[in-house]
Amino acid sequence: MANMKRKMDSRLMGEMPEGKLLLTLAVPMMLSMLVQALYNVVDSVYVAMVSEDCLSALSLAFPAQNIMIGLGTGTGVGVSTLVSRALGRRDTQEAGRVAGTAVFLSLCCWLLVALFGIFSAETFIFSQTQDASIRAHGLSYLRIVTIGSFFLYLEICMERLLQSTGRTKLSMWTQMIGALSNIVLDPFFIFGWCGLPAMGTAGAALATVIGQALGAGSGLLFQLRQNRELPLRTQDIRPRGRIIGGIYRIGFPSILMMGISSVTNYFMNRILIGFTSTAVAVYGAYFKLNSFFFMPVFGINNGLIPIVGYNYGARKKERIYRTLRYGVLYASAFMLLGVLSMQLIPQLLLGVFSPSEAMLAIGVPALRRISLSFLFAGFCIVAGSACQALDRSVASLAVSALRQLVVLLPAAWLLSQTGEINNVWWAFPIAEGMSLLASALFLRGALKHMEIVMEEGQNA
């Protein structure tokens, strides 16, 4: 029975038409990520009802939280790729060793982040603002989500293991259980429903941790009971230098990319707060809104990576090319929807955050100008994931560094010197245009490298 199941998975990853296969794997993840995006917005909507200072505080905590998530998802990219390749070679023992090592790394990630929360969260928040109210709200939120991050890392780990074997529906339920629990619990802890104390941003953080715990527990249950061809054995949960090196050779550039993104957000917050804290609130609201369009694209990527990884291991280059074409098509469609939404109804989108007139005056032109960058973003995201799956992860890192550190931040600072806040937003489409050119060049190089590797394998 197990051999029959593995043969079915092989036909799925190696023979099903690419467009259908990508949607089969991606749609459940897209749905779960849309729920996650809904959580992100609802969380901020509730917090904004408390005060604009609370919304600004979440924006200041976001760079550190982004690094936390990036550490988990970057590790997950490496795990998913190595598991997919091992299964493509029919090496289930190696796949099981990778899964066990992934659980060990989840514990390591939690310890690292918890130490940051205990010893450095205050310095991080206080370095961005002098406002006592914003400082207090931001610190309470960041400390709770960092110390409780073990469940975040375990949840991400289980999701990636399920995705690696094509069980994206179970991965979807793992994420949806966590996100929906979070949405339901938010008002109880933020506003003090049913006799609970009203905790504001601290309540939002507590709801986040509880939701992640429920998601992690569900994912672990699905993995142990339903993912039979990828065994998770107690004896495999230990460090293996060879596997850890392989995971981070693929995934570390993703972590660095998220780190670069966090550095960018940190300094953008400092640029914007030089105008007004309302601009920081707008920036935070924008990131919550853009997740509705970027999360589905990341779902497409999560479906694309195991397909490319499997067919790279199976040496089926034409399937890789067709998968990439479908990936760019689907991603660009979501990005176009984002552009149209932010151009046509920016007031409606911002309206969910209980905006002041000052917030609308800054936010409407911000959404319209930033969203122009979406026209290029779909291709850039898919190209970066393709490079990771094809062992050219450094290319993704180089593009991210170019876009954010070399172009975006300097452009934003220079435009801020005009004294007009609305000019700052033009830095985003400028940076994404440069990213488009670099992404195309690096993807071309990754595909040429893939063909050379496959030709050498055939001639060996």
What is residue 351's predicted lDDT score, i.e. its pLDDT?
A: 94
Alpha-carbon span 308 to 6, nearest angstrom = 18
Per-residue pLDDT reduced to its tens digit, 334-373: 999 999 999 999 999 999 999 999 999 999 999 999 999 9
Helix axes 201-226, 52-88, angle to 10 degrees: 20
Alpha-carbon span 67 to 385, nearest angstrom = 18
Q: What is the CA radius of gyration of the chain?
A: 22
Judged against a pLDDT cut of 50, whether residue 7 lies above it is answered with no
What is residue 338's predicted lDDT score, i.e. its pLDDT?
A: 95
Q: Give which of 224, 264, 279, 292 is closest to 410, Cα–Cα.
A: 264
Per-residue pLDDT reduced to its tens digit, 277-324: 999 999 999 988 998 889 888 888 878 888 888 888 777 888 888 989
What is residue 458's predicted lDDT score, i.e. its pLDDT?
A: 62
pLDDT band at 4 (very low <50, low <70, confident <90, very high): very low
| 226 contact partners, CB below 8 Å, separation of at least 6 | 162, 167, 170
Cα 83 versus chain centre, distance: 20
**Highest mean predicted confidence (pLDDT) among 261-265, 302-306, 316-320, 412-416:** 412-416
Q: What average pLDDT does range 120-140 have in this prediction? A: 95
What is residue 85's predicted lDDT score, i.e. its pLDDT?
A: 84
Judged against a pLDDT cut of 60, whether residue 8 lies above it is answered with no
Judged against a pLDDT cut of 60, whether residue 9 lies above it is answered with no
Map out the domains of the chain as residue ranges: 2-453
What is residue 318's predicted lDDT score, i.e. its pLDDT?
A: 85
What is residue 315's predicted lDDT score, i.e. its pLDDT?
A: 79
Average pLDDT, the chain: 89
**Burial classification of residue 444, based on how many CB atoms lie within 10 Å of its CB (0-12 exposed, 13-18 middle, 19 or more buried):** exposed
| 76 contact partners, CB below 8 Å, separation of at least 6 | 102, 156, 157, 159, 160, 251
Q: What average pLDDT does range 100-117 have in this prediction? A: 96
Tell me which amino acid residue 453 is.
V
Judged against a pLDDT cut of 80, whether residue 82 lies above it is answered with yes
Lowest mean pLDDT of 16-25, 228-237, 330-339, 440-449, name the range. Answer: 16-25
What is residue 231's predicted lDDT score, i.e. its pLDDT?
A: 83
Q: Give which of 70, 46, 69 is closest to 58, Cα–Cα.
A: 46
Q: What average pLDDT does range 371-388 have in this prediction? A: 91
Per-residue pLDDT reduced to its tens digit, 13-65: 666 777 788 888 888 778 777 777 777 788 888 999 999 999 999 999 999 99
- The CA-to-CA distance between both ends of the chain, in Å, stands at 34
| 221 contact partners, CB below 8 Å, separation of at least 6 | none
| 163 contact partners, CB below 8 Å, separation of at least 6 | 25, 29, 80, 171, 302, 303, 306
Place of tokens 């897209």: 30
pTM of the model: 0.82
pLDDT > 90 fraction of the chain, expressed in percent and rounded: 63
CB 338 within 8 A of CB 290: yes
